[in-house]
Amino acid sequence: MITRRNFLAGMLGAGLAGAGGKLWAMDTPFPDACVIVRHRLAGPAGWAGRRIAFVTDVHYGNYFGPADAAALNRLVRAQRPYLVAMGGDLAQTPDTDLAGFLAEWNPGCPTVFAPGNHDLGESTRGTVLRQARAGGMTILDNARENWDGLVLVGLPSALRRRQDLALLEAPGLKLVLGHEPDVWPGFAQPDLFQLAGHTHGGQVRLLGRPLALPELGRRYPLGEYTTGENRGLLVSAGIGCVDARVRVNCPPEIIVLEMT
């Protein structure tokens, strides 16, 4: 089976890196082509009118440096969020130096962060979470917090660690930061809304369909999915790139939840 990694690596191996760079420049670059995707969500009492900015898959250190971090901060700050929910893969590797990112990150509100597979090593925790915590972020790594009546649950990458699903046993609306979207059917609780990334929307989309997707990102590649009992999943195309610096018909995006 073709994977996203093999597909994008194959583009480079076939000598298409230059073409990929041109497509990035002409089609969907960050920050110029970054889009704001707005989604309305019924929140708990007192949340009407507040905004949560969801930012995921930055992959800092992989074609994304301090100048890009500054641009991302400006875009997020312009949305005037009450809270920033940072999805996984903030960093390209578990030991990526985040100093350049954190020096630019000041969105004007708290940031909560749940780690993705690139943030966590297969055999080591790395330093990304420690750096993010030192930089002022609230780390939700198999953790739950009540944020002014909204239950925030942060789960680590399902590809790297066991997820503590007992954290989902809470009354009221639960906003779940869970990096890989394909674990969503295992969240059986009602009144649950998951924010996910991981897929990058495929990075390369032709005729509206991704050409290759990663493990645990093939069933729900992009956009909104819902079932009964007030359960929803919203999958973001993310900000950065993995493997090859190319995005075709799949612009980087920031999701803004507008609470009603």
Per-chain mean pLDDT for the chain = 91
Low-confidence ranges of the chain (pLDDT < 50): 1-2, 10-26
What is residue 27's predicted lDDT score, i.e. its pLDDT? 58
What is residue 25's predicted lDDT score, i.e. its pLDDT? 38
Which tokens go with 233? Answer: 């999943």
What is the Cα–Cα distance from 204 to 2, expressed in whole angstroms?
Answer: 14
Report pLDDT digits (tens) over 158-184.
999 999 999 999 999 999 999 999 999
What is residue 229's predicted lDDT score, i.e. its pLDDT? 84
What is residue 120's predicted lDDT score, i.e. its pLDDT? 96
Of 116, 113, 86, the closest CA to residue 179 belongs to: 116
What is the Cα–Cα distance from 141 to 189, expressed in whole angstroms?
Answer: 19
What is residue 6's predicted lDDT score, i.e. its pLDDT? 55
Report pLDDT digits (tens) over 105-145.
999 999 999 999 999 988 777 999 999 999 999 999 999 99
DSSP for 206-256, written as a single string: ETTEES---TT-SSS-SEEEEETTTEEEEE---SS-SSSS--BS---EEEE
CB atoms within 10 A of CB 150: 22
Q: Which domains does the chain have, with CATH numbers?
A: 36-259 (3.60.21)
> 228: exposed, middle or buried (C-beta count within 10 Å: 0-12, 13-18, 19+)?
exposed
Give the dihedral sign, CA 154/110/255/215: negative
